[in-house]
Chain A
Amino acid sequence: MESLKVYILVANRIYNDGIRSGLGLAVENHYAYPVIMNGEFPNMTEYMTENIAWIADMEGQVYSCGAEAPTDMPEGSEIENISLEELGEKMRDADVIIPFGMPKGSHEPPAACGG
């Protein structure tokens, strides 16, 4: 099958598993572009940074839209900044667009979420 360009939009901090779903498609020979929206970044565990690097190895890319990407990512797992307009233009060429999980909550998480 032809390789598809797949954008996975993550708008809610809980749903960064969209990055793993992107990797799942990358290993199926698709181009995966997970996009973390408005600073809803995951905890950058070793597992997460390895997944981000693996997506890049498979000719995909993880983007940050609406907030500056972390600058202290391990080599090979860099997250690229992209504006909303640039993202829209890139997604015009997408085969599949996946708004993943849930939208962003309207309140900051309470301390109870921290653990």
Chain B
Amino acid sequence: MSDEKMKILQVYRSEPTSDIETLVGVLNRDRDADEFKLYLDQPNYDVLVQKIYAADKTVCWW
């Protein structure tokens, strides 16, 4: 898999801190990035599963 084509999903259980934003900025660079905010009311878990299966890599932050 070429690095440029990697699909990466960032999942947040709470609002990201500046440290997390910095790390995500580096991790997402030149990649096809998506995100999902679990801390919003009534997350749609079916959509989250779809996103996880569409991604090559998932990171779920605190």
Task: Give the size of the chain A interface in residues (CB under 8 angstroms).
Answer: 16
Q: CB-CB < 8 A to A88: which residues of B?
A: 22-23, 25-27
Quote the shortest CB–CB distance from B32 to chain A (angstroms): 14
- Nearest chain-A residue to B24 (Cβ)? A88
* Cβ–Cβ contact A91 & B23, under 8 A: yes
Tell whether B17 is near chain A: CB-to-CB under 8 Å: yes
Q: CB-CB < 8 A to B17: which residues of A?
A: 103
Tell whether B40 is near chain A: CB-to-CB under 8 Å: no
Q: CB-CB < 8 A to A102: which residues of B?
A: 62
- Nearest chain-A residue to B30 (Cβ)? A92
* Cβ–Cβ contact B19 & A84, under 8 A: yes
Majority DSSP secondary structure for residues of A touching B: mixed
Within 8 A of B (CB), among A21-55: 37-38
Tell whether A74 is near chain B: CB-to-CB under 8 Å: no
- Nearest chain-A residue to B58 (Cβ)? A97
25 contacts between A and B (CB under 8 A): A11-B62, A37-B19, A38-B19, A66-B19, A84-B19, A84-B22, A85-B22, A85-B26, A88-B22, A88-B23, A88-B27, A89-B26, A91-B23, A91-B26, A91-B27, A92-B3, A92-B26, A92-B27, A97-B27, A97-B57, A99-B59, A99-B60, A99-B62, A103-B17, A103-B62
Binding site for B on A (CB under 8 A): 11, 37-38, 66, 84-85, 87-89, 91-92, 97, 99, 101-103
